Amino acid sequence: MVFLYNLSIKIYFVLVLLASTFNRKAKLWIEGRKNYWSRLKSQIDPSSKIVWFHCSSLGEFEQGRPLIEAFKQRMPEVKILLTFFSPSGYEVRKNYSGADYIFYLPLDTKANAQQFLALVKPFMAIFIKYEFWYHFLSHLKMNKIPTYLVSANFRPDQVFFKTYGEWYRKFLQNFTCFFVQNTKSKELLESIGLTNVLVTGDTRFDRVARIAAEAREVPLIQEFVGSRKVFVAGSTWPKDEDIILPLTHRFPDVKFLIVPHEVDESHIQSIIQKSPVQAVRFTKASAGDVSNAQVMIVDTIGLLASIYRYGHIAYVGGGFGVGIHNTLEAAAYGIPVIFGPNYQKFQEAKDLVAQKAGFSIKSQGELANLLNRLLTDEKEYMSSCGEAKKIVNSGLGATQKIIDKIMGEL
């Protein structure tokens, strides 16, 4: 199995290398790892006491950020090394001031794992939610470095819990402790003999609550919104936009803020062309341009979490693809959250649906009916708002539980 795993890693690298000739993300993935070892060696202070945090991408970073900042507060002498696997995390947060060192993660080979740990010498490693790399995890355990998995959420359909998953279970056996989101995850881990598990919840609740409390004003968006009700569609993909945009003319009194997941020029132009009503771009509009437009396309990154503050209703994209994006960012403002049908992997989305604070739609017709209800039935709308806020408040405190447990062991 190790041979097949190593082969798959090599094949993955070749595919990314080929894709880098025409795909921007793949190109960034390759370029970000050039001269890797010389850069790592020149920047890392070998005398530092380093905690290594690893996140797959931007979403996992936001999940791990409260813990990173809690570490810095409790142990200011510690240096934080933050690694990302994906460009969508690294390129956005490569200048994050809460970490002392920020790098891509090298490919998971035996040689890379050995060299990385020899240079960094972390006294602790913390992986956020998932990312199971065989060689890195094996060598962390081999070097007796405590390794934690934070805000983990396991499902029965994962390979670890299948009859043929014995080799993959070795990945999990390298963790010192699992901090999981729910009791189901704990039960699944215990079913394969892993008892070093604590149910601490999801650190994203702490993060989104803080973001909502500190949300900044965006004057141009305030000008666009005026006194109208606002539908904020965040992290949208073309399928989401194909469902949302034709409805704009059916709700002429509602302003639509579209914040796409990808902000490349071709995607932005596609949204403009598909809009049946007047649309403006955030980066190219001025205060005098926006009041008459019904749609604003936010064609820049980093504003979504604050933009939800203007929403009367939120829509979170991705649910017609591999899975929805962060619903908690919207729910933290106490507004109803709508998303597509692919949300079963996300416990917080299931909780929102169960409490009627979140709504899953499968078609444009379902979205139109739902919007009509929420915009006209004040009782249902206010109930949904209250439940959304209640769910977020009930999930607070995971960061404190995790940091207390880790510090206790230190």
- Residue 328: C-alpha distances to residues 144, 183, 209, 303, 392 (Å): 36, 20, 9, 15, 7
Can you spell out the DSSP letters for 106-120?
PP--HHHHHHHHHHH
What pLDDT is attached to residue 72?
Answer: 92
The predicted structure's pLDDT at residue 59? 85
Cα angle for residues 179, 181, 187 (degrees, 5° grid) = 80
DSSP state of 309: G
| Average pLDDT of span 58-80 | 93
What local confidence, expressed as pLDDT, does residue 180 receive? Answer: 96
pLDDT tens-place string over residues 130-167: 889 999 999 999 999 999 999 999 999 999 999 999 99
- Across 70-97, b (16+ Cβ under 10 Å) vs e yields bbbeeeeeebbbbbbbbbbbbbbbeeee
Q: How far apart are CA 263 and CA 266, in angstroms?
A: 8
Beta bridge partners of 51: 80, 124
Please tell me the predicted confidence (pLDDT) of residue 361.
97
**Angle 378-394/364-376 helices, nearest 10 degrees?**
100
Relative orientation angle of helices 110-120 and 36-43, to the nearest 10 degrees: 20
For residue 105, is pLDDT > 90?
yes
- When pLDDT is cut at 50, 70 and 90, the band that residue 239 belongs to is very high
Please state, in angstroms and rounded to a whole number, the distance separating the CA atoms of residues 161 and 186: 12
**What was the pLDDT predicted at 347?**
86
Give yes or no for residue 262 having a pLDDT over 80: yes
What angle in degrees, to the nearest 10, is found between the helix axes of 398-409 and 204-213?
A: 130
Mean pLDDT of the chain: 94
Q: What is the pLDDT of residues 264-301, one digit of tens each?
A: 899 999 999 999 999 999 998 887 778 889 999 999 98
Q: By mean pLDDT, which of 12-16, 44-48, 314-318 is the weakest?
A: 44-48
**Among the ranges given (272-276, 328-332, 343-347), the one the predictor scored with the smallest mean pLDDT:** 343-347
| pLDDT above 90 for 58 | no
Specify whether the CB–CB gap between 207 and 65 falls below 8 A. yes
Task: Report the pLDDT value the prediction gives residue 145, as an integer from 0 to 100.
Answer: 96
pLDDT, tens digit (0-9, with 9 covering 90-100), for 197-214 = 999 999 999 999 999 998
Q: What are phi and psi of 184, to 5 degrees?
A: -60, -40
